[in-house]
């Protein structure tokens, strides 16, 4: 996949494979990624059974869909122990408040990817540009 590192490719491939026909085999069979792949399949099954239709790319497509990017953000948030970002991503993916099983499964999958050597860190949140000189800064409304 263009622009994604190997761990992200494996995560998306596992999700797409669970959702698609069982004719395709995963191209990665190294022992160190078996746990990550199995955890990702469990997470994929939970998300696919949640009722919201996820927009997934075709096996082998070069670019992840917005839902797949959100899935990668959920894994990155879990690896960074950012509970708020993890819950927000899972809310979007599932279409409702995620339960403990979905949150825990995402954390297990993220840990499995980290143990296989794929760490993504916290998802980058774009920062708004600074206001022009002399203008008061914009503050978040609480």
pLDDT of residue 87: 92
Burial zone of 29 (CB within 10 Å; 0-12 exposed, 13-18 middle, 19+ buried): exposed
Q: Which structure tokens are listed for 1?
A: 């996949």
**pTM for the model:** 0.69
Distance from C-alpha of 75 to C-alpha of 77, rounded to nearest angstrom: 5
Question: If pLDDT is split at 50, 70 and 90, which confidence band does 24 have?
Answer: very low
Q: Pull the structure tokens for residue 36.
A: 């990550």
The 10s digit of each residue's pLDDT in 78-110 is 999 999 999 999 998 888 888 899 999 999 989
44 exposure class (CB count in 10 Å sphere: 0-12, 13-18, 19+): buried
Digit-coded pLDDT (tens) for 41-85:
888 888 888 878 888 788 777 788 888 888 889 999 999 999 999
Burial 90-117 (b: 16+ CB within 10 A, else e): bebbbeeebeeebbebbbbbbbbbbebe
């Amino acid at each position: 996949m263009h622009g994604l590192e190997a761990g992200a490719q494996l995560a998306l491939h596992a999700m797409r494979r669970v959702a698609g026909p069982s004719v395709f085999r995963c191209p990665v069979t190294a022992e160190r990624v078996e746990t990550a792949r199995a955890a990702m399949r469990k997470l994929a099954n939970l998300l696919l059974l949640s009722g919201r239709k996820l927009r997934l790319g075709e096996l082998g497509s070069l670019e992840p869909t917005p839902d797949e990017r959100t899935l990668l953000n959920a894994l990155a948030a879990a690896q960074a122990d950012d509970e708020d970002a993890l819950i927000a991503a899972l809310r979007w993916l599932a279409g409702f408040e995620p339960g403990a099983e979905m949150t825990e499964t995402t954390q297990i999958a993220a840990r499995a990817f980290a143990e296989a050597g794929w760490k993504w860190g916290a998802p980058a949140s774009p920062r708004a540009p600074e206001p022009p000189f002399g203008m008061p800064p914009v503050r978040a409304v609480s």
